[in-house]
Amino acid sequence: MFIFGIFFAPYSVNNNKSKFIIMGEVIKLITRAMGSVLGSYFNSDMDVMSDEAKRIFSNDEDRKKYIEAVERLKNTTNQQETITLSNEQTITLVS
């Protein structure tokens, strides 16, 4: 309470209701700031992906081809797998 007393010293009001309103506004501001910090910390995983990976995973057909190619690489002794994307671009995945 001492911290709030120092913080609100210039805004001292005789009415307790006004003090609670001011404290409520400060709590709202702190909550928004915490939400902003936590929101930026726990941001989407898409930010760690390259632009090419974002394009592949944003297209359902390309995403399916990519995942199937990765599964084939995991389940066989092949060292690489080539797929053709929906835009006719070919990429080679290497394990």
Q: Which two tokens stand for residue 33?
A: 């700031």
Q: Which residue has the higher pLDDT, 2 or 54?
A: 54
Q: Which residue has the higher pLDDT, 31 or 8?
A: 31
- Band the pLDDT of 1: cuts 50, 70, 90: very low
Q: Which residue has the higher pLDDT, 74 or 9?
A: 74
Q: Distance between CA 85 and CA 81 in Å, rounded?
A: 13
Q: Answer whether residue 61 shows pLDDT above 50.
A: yes
Average pLDDT over residues 66-85: 90
Q: Distance between CA 76 and CA 64 in Å, rounded?
A: 18
Residue 95 pLDDT: 82
Q: Which two tokens stand for residue 45?
A: 């995983």
How high does pLDDT run on average in the chain?
79
Over the stretch 28-44, which tens digit does the pLDDT of each residue have? 999 888 888 777 777 65
- Beta pairing, strands 90-94 & 80-84: antiparallel
**What DSSP character marks residue 49?**
S
**Cβ neighbour number for residue 91 with a 10 Å cutoff:** 15
Contacting residues for 42 by C-beta, under 8 A, at least 6 apart: none
Decide if 73 contacts 85 (C-beta within 8 A): no
